[in-house]
Amino acid sequence: MSLPTELAFAAQRIALENGLTQAELFEYVFDDTALALSFVLNIALAGFTILGIAYLGRNLTDPRSKMIAISLMLISVVSISSYTGLTSGLTLSVIEMPSGHPAEGTVTAGEDGVLTMWGRYLTWTFSTPFILIALGMIAGSNWTKILTTVAFTIAMCITGLAAALTTSSLVMRWWWFVISSIFFLVIVYVILVDWTAEAQKTGTGDLFNTLKLLTVVGWFGYPILWALGVEGFAILDVAITSWGYSILDIITKYIVTFVAMFYVIKEPDAITGGADYGSSLPGFTPADD
């Protein structure tokens, strides 16, 4: 059985074993106004972003430009679905932390454990690949590199989910975190080194520099929040942790989306990729590794 399947069953088992029903989790979320707003705001922004991209991209004709626009839209399609799951209590669970964890013995809504927002990992698993597809195409990279980063980001999110769901050992929780961070650094290297060089050659360097700054700096915030939040050292409470993730999502998803989309609309010649769906400009072939 594959790791993603095992984690899916683990999440389902935790949800079923959790003493709190979805209705009780829903009530718990909305009893905490700050926590509820961190979810609802992203639902609203994701919906606005989807409508905005549909409007801005209505006159696009080039296949490459349209594929970038679709990838950008799918980021918010995933986000609105996943945040709805969090808001409804469907993808929330109360998990008892292992021995030695700073939050060991915490009680949430009358149940032993801390509120774990494992639905966020679903958001990242399915939305981050579309961010990388859009960035890779804007940089003019080849599909081998684009799909490689997609594979690594899925692995990063799944191992992050494993860290959040592991209750058997504190050491194993942090080991999963280390593995996830290694996968993350591979992606960062591709963005900062390979794709930056390719963007300079394709003529999208200025745009890509802006996007990589927003993306990479924002992405570094996720492991930091994990370490400081209830799943790590438990320095930050659940609501503050949730708001931290939500703000990072706003930067790395919606702001990045509109920056990229406005460029595609205003500078179509720099994005045009010809008659097919190739990620490179006509006459340009990125150097193989």
Q: Tens digits of per-residue pLDDT, 99-142?
A: 999 999 999 988 999 999 999 999 999 999 999 999 999 998 98
Q: Give the predicted TM-score (pTM) of the model.
A: 0.87
Burial class (CB in 10 A: 0-12, 13-18, 19+), 5: exposed
Q: Which residue type sits at 130?
A: F
Question: 3-state class of 168 per DSSP?
Answer: coil
pLDDT digits (tens, 9 = 90+) for 132-145: 999 999 998 988 99
pLDDT digits (tens, 9 = 90+) for 200-222: 988 889 999 999 999 999 999 99
Name the token pair of 113: 């454990």
- What pLDDT score does 9 carry? 53
Q: Is the pLDDT of residue 275 over 50?
A: no
Q: Is the pLDDT of residue 281 over 70?
A: no
Q: Which residue has the tokens 């179509």?
A: 268
pLDDT digits (tens, 9 = 90+) for 33-80: 999 999 999 999 999 999 999 999 999 888 888 899 999 999 999 999
Name the token pair of 83: 């945040």
| φ, ψ dihedrals at 87, nearest 5° | -60, -40
